[in-house]
Structure 1
């Protein structure tokens, strides 16, 4: 990796991402909202999906509950990959695709903060926490004997108080998976990486519904948040390039801590083909 393409020092990136994740995690807890309101929002989404014929959660959840060979692996996917794949992709980009890293990081951060706004404005009860009369089973609790989680989504047993179970709209499980998928598809050099990039967000969407952690519209909102974050990152990158030309600095699209280098380079995914 040449100095011309090297991102900011790894510890600065780690501090930045740690700060953002801390704000995100703390904000989720502070945005718990009113439980009755969250239940009302969840039921409204369910009714709206039924009218549109998009209530895919119930048959998927029934399948995951009746077929342990599907439900148990799905619970492991839900409880682990969200927290493993995203940082791995970040590290991979930092080391192997430095010209695209800054844009991707800014895209992820922007989208995550938008998701936090969504949790605050619309606390939503996930299907698994609705009254049993609505026909949903919490597969994480149902199969809790197979893993480290209990009855509080993917939180380890005894740590449910450190999570906001009503932060369901939008689904950042789907949003982050989409972010990973787009980048792996765009910049992966092997068919295996590209195939994983295509499959990962699709599998995640099915899993979040089948485990009754999200509605289909939560997944749609997660994708929409990532789209909005992408546009924000492009806007930040465009402003950076304008500042660079006038001030003699160069940075990648979305770079937050610029280094001095030639101004001709464009590091956004749209330009890196």
Structure 2
């Protein structure tokens, strides 16, 4: 504990001059997120495909890689505008078992393409972005379970005390370990700068912390599905963010960590979030893990988004992807500045509001890098996906990633 005392520094809370930020009603944030998702679902719908009219259900898939993991692979090679030929093709198509490589072993899984004319399969074919929505619902469900699981693991020792000791250990690591040179300005000094003379800015950051994380990330996923040069590129980003999530979830469970704002007052942090009543509806409630500071998924998502925007700018690529248009220099610089500026803004936000430590952001960055290099690990779940599709009698749709954007490219 002697070392722990070295990181304490009582700070007298200054008088608050700014008023608490206006709080959105509890129903507003879910509606915002739902609106973003359903707008993306509509914008990326498959043209020329009718759910209830099979004679007008033709389409030309722009899918350009087998890594899309399309269930009905036979549709990819077909390209015809003749309705009778199309119906004959579907009637004569066979549905052999799919060959999946799982952990070095080739296994056979049922091919759900025989269910392509079921109503729910046709709805998915019309609105393939529904699959992406399903993936992120699974992500959110896993996050909800981290708090319950962690509490059960540390039930005997008391999760609050464990999380507090971990938070103090993070501060000690930043200030007294061999990596202390990476953190020349302590987190509390950043917060104190905002508290003395810049409280209005801090109120803005508090609100940004609450409102940007979920809607911003969901909005990015929707936008990139719409503009990505290929589904393969989009899928790499989605798998990277998902694996980063799971790495973080495992850490939340095994290493509960108290955010700086919840540490005892002698550590010098102020709970500005509570003062501004800036809790998001997604960050409150029975199943929300308030002791999940390590790592910062606010920054983890922001880092993934920033890297994607820099890649999308095309400034550091010699060749464009197939079907990708060259961007004007103005757009290239815009994507570059946004790709660098957004993570920097989120880093400032999480530190100034005392929601995270610097080390939280560093670990999130490491998880994102590891996830990018290892994102293909999700291929091991393909057999499970095939079985699930078979059980629900549905066929996985061919994605429309980038199709509508390329159709409008001449007008943008």
TM bin (shorter chain): 0.7 to 0.9
Cα offset, 1:203, TM superposition: 1.2
4+ runs of 1 displaced by more than 3 Å?
Answer: 155-162, 234-237
Asked if structure 2 preserves the Cα contact closer than 8 Å seen for 1:155 and 1:163, the reply is no
Task: Answer yes or no: is 1:105 the counterpart of 2:105.
Answer: no
Q: 1:224 aligns with which of 342, 362, 366?
A: 366
Task: Answer yes or no: is 1:176 the counterpart of 2:315.
Answer: no
Residue equivalent to 1:125: 258
Q: Which runs of 5+ in 1 are unaligned?
A: 241-256, 260-273
Partner of 2:291, secondary structure, is coil
Q: 1:12 aligns with which of 131, 141, 151?
A: 131
Q: 1:196 to 1:138 in 2, by over 3 A?
A: same
Partner of 2:188, secondary structure, is helix
Cα offset, 1:109, TM superposition: 0.8
CA distance in 2, matches of 1:10, 1:160: 29
Which has more radius of gyration? 2
CA distance in 2, matches of 1:116, 1:162: 13
Cα offset, 1:143, TM superposition: 2.4
Q: Which runs of 5+ in 2 are unaligned?
A: 1-45, 47-59, 71-127, 314-326, 382-395, 399-412
Asked if structure 2 preserves the Cα contact closer than 8 Å seen for 1:64 and 1:139, the reply is no
Task: Answer yes or no: is 1:92 the counterpart of 2:234.
Answer: no
Residue equivalent to 1:80: 211
Q: 1:204 aligns with which of 346, 358, 383?
A: 346
* Structural RMSD (CA): 2.7
Q: What do the CA deviations read for 1:100-144 (whole angstroms, capped 9, x no partner)?
A: 111111111111011000111110111101110111001111222
Cα offset, 1:235, TM superposition: 5.5
Q: 1:115 to 1:258 in 2, by over 3 A?
A: farther
Higher relative contact order (CA 8 A, sep 6+): 2
CA distance in 1, matches of 2:149, 2:298: 20
Q: Which has the higher helix share?
A: 1
Cα offset, 1:176, TM superposition: 0.4
Q: 1:79 to 1:158 in 2, by over 3 A?
A: closer
